[in-house]
Structure 1
Amino acid sequence: MKNILVDDSGLMGMRYLMLVHDAGKCAAVVKMTQDAGLDWTDHDDLLRCVMKTPRLQKALLPNLGVLGEGKSVLVRDVLGLECNLGQVMQGEAPAGVLLGWDGVGSHVRDWYLVHLLLDLAGVKASDGRVGATALTLPVVDEFTDLAEAMGSEETTAGMDRYGCYLSLRATVLGLSERVADADLVAVTRLALMLQVMDAAGAESVCASWEDADPEIRAVLRRELGRDGVSVHAFLPYYGPAFMRATAQKAGIRAAMDGLAARLGRARAAMGEPEPGITNLDFRQEALGVRS
């Protein structure tokens, strides 16, 4: 990763990538994709659809060739990756999203990770912080754990990388010593969704978990422990935003209760389909809590 932004070619390529990586949120791009009759699940999936359709890709990126063949291919490959490590980093996604990470070349992985760090800095800075102070040491440490787990070795399966990342974060937060093995994946994902960065914050998550009704714990243990590969799993889209807003307003236990209630209703309605991942959209709930 450290050798990506060392020359003008790398800087220009990364600048181009950062300029277009959220194009799936642009109304004009949405309309263009709708007019093409394509379906998508979120703005990242929309952009992947565009990148797979030569006519749409050319319309969105008419000047991609200025980067040269090598950097153009890298940018296209990063934009076309069928996984979202940001969702992994914040506990939103089940392990199955990393099937898209398998078989990806080391250069593409490294470029994706650098783009994710820059995107993270932008998101943090938009919260009102200034410049480089957005990336505090705990945030950098969290990203470093992600980069270590997702790094460039070709031999490690995506599912194993997911377990490695959760294990690294559980150790840093002291969850491995506090939480039963059967609960560890669920509690670690909850802590990540709540953006817990230290042992003190993790202690609050553990206390709320222990205080929660057994039925709530059972739902969260079951649903957050699913991988989407061996069994069907939900991805609580914008679940972290909902969790943090609810915790700020009514406490961590209320956030757990709300997440469990929505997951439980969704499972009752859907039953047990074939293995795979279904987005469960929490955007309206998150906006409702904030209003």
Structure 2
Amino acid sequence: MQREDMKDLLWFLEVAKEGSFTKAAANLATSQSTLSHTIKQLEARLGVRLLTRTTRSVATTDAGERLFRSILPRFEGIEADLGDLVAFREKPSGTVRLTLSDHALQTTVWPKLSVVLDKYPDVKVELYADNGMRNIVEERFDAGVRLGENVDKDMIAVRIGPDWRLRAVASPKYFARRGRPQAPQDLVGHVCINMRQATLGGFYAWEFEKDGRELRVRVDGQLSFNSSISQLEAAVSGFGIAYVPDNLVEEHIADGRLQAVLDDWSHPFTGYHLYYPSRRQMSPAMAVIVDALRQRGSN
């Protein structure tokens, strides 16, 4: 193999993963025309078409897909080996990419990270906050944060926070106007503030449990968000009932801005866990993050 093929193969991998010359060029900090020319040269040297180009998308040919699946794990292995070399440095360094919800970020992850990152100036952290159930391997995250019950069995999971529950809350003004639901089924007749979970294909069905009986209620209303913090703000403003984590609403209930209903139907979830694949050696930067976030003491 010629030396220039190594770079060209890396560029081919980026295009194949993104399915777009535009996105791949941006990731590689090069121009789209330069990237396209490089791939054409690689195809000419190999004597086979690797990519099928249309006006809207780019896809691998059969030969391209075979090459992609063959060389991707090899380059990822080299990347991991190079990353392990930082263990020989005096200070941990490198980038750790995490996917997590806005609630996990605000209440669990950021309060812990903010007090330790100053000690490790060479450790960089990318925090991607949304409420989807991301595939961290396919989307190239180093780790994710989910409730313990949602972590896949083939992942290493480290508890980073206590158990918590959702509470149905609304402003006193709303309840004065619409009345208070006495059972979860009554929510169908109320204006509720929805949570959209894109990767699950729709709105979150509110989950309740009492005396061993479980209910899932699909609610409706004028507003929906993909952020529990935005739901809370809308509830305070009187736009309806929100179903949000208890540690976000405690102060609002104490000062009278919100009132809670159906608390006897609200059951606790297993707390947040940091999870990551088990097949690779942990980098020093990742070790810093795991140690900073690990839950200590009682749940």
Place the TM-score, normalised by the shorter chain, in its bin.
under 0.3
**What is the TM-score of this pair, normalised by structure 2?**
0.25
**What is the TM-score of this pair, normalised by structure 1?**
0.25
Q: Which has the higher contact order (CA 8 A, sep 6+)?
A: 2
* More helix as a share of residues: 1
* More strand as a share of residues: 2
